[in-house]
Homo-oligomer: A and B are copies of this chain.
Amino acid sequence: MSSTILDTRTRILQATLDLLSDGKAHAVRMTDIAKQAGISRQAVYLHFDNRADLLIAATLYLDELKGSDDRLIPSRTAKSGIERLEAFVEGWANYIPEIFGIGKALIAMREEDEAAATAWDKRMRDMREGCEAAILALKKDRQLRPEFSPEEATDILWTLISLRNWEQMRIECGWSQEQYIRVMLATVRRLFVCD
């Protein structure tokens, strides 16, 4: 594993993230990525089997870069269930902008590529576990409203803070990130927390 291999591979991954960060997932071709990385298109295939493989690797690379596990710490160290719920929602909300580009690309690929679908679904299932933990912490504090079962509440929360909804609110509705966070926090508080 010479450092040259790593360097080129990393440059490809970085190029991928750079280009996808615009949110124009469909406009990013293998040729564009190669050009951005300063190599030939064919050389990309020396490091990644195909486009899906590259996109999946790019999400893992991004995790490394951003330390996605650390994101959950404030939510894990929260004292009350309410605090935990709010810390989780806010932490995730601040993480979305960083993963949005690659996320959107993987979501688009989901429809055509089995491996991409599996990879993205796994990430989303992991995120759902965070939702579930927050809901259960609330329930443990007897602060979870009785309208919804914990499973339903988890599903609602999971759906509510999805990438797609963030995109719709931020881009379609023109909300600022601050507004998004404020409204989401108010929404989950109102929906799930006993008065």
Interface residues of A (CB under 8 A from B): 25-26, 108, 111-112, 145, 147-148, 152, 155-156, 158-160, 162, 164-165, 168-169, 173, 175, 179, 183, 186-187, 190-191
Contact A186 B148, CB 8 Å, known A159-B168, A164-B164: yes
Contacts of A162 in B (CB 8 A): 164-165, 168
Task: Give the 3 A-B CB pairs with smallest separation, nearest first.
Answer: A155-B173, A26-B111, A164-B164
Q: How far is the CA of A6 from the CA of B49 in the complex (A)?
A: 47
With A and B bound together, what is the CA distance between A163 and B114 in angstroms?
A: 22
Task: Evaluate contact between B183 and A26: CB separation under 8 angstroms.
Answer: no
What are 9 A-B interface contacts by the 8 Å CB criterion?
A: A152-B179, A152-B183, A156-B183, A159-B165, A162-B168, A164-B164, A190-B190, A190-B191, A191-B191
| Residues on the B chain within 8 Å of A152, using CB | 179, 183
Cross-chain contact A112 with B159 (CB below 8 angstroms): no
Q: When chains A and B are docked, how far (Å) is the Cα of A162 from the Cα of B163?
A: 13
Nearest neighbor of A124 in chain B, beta-carbon distance? B172
Interfacial chain B residues near A183, Cβ < 8 Å: 148, 152, 156
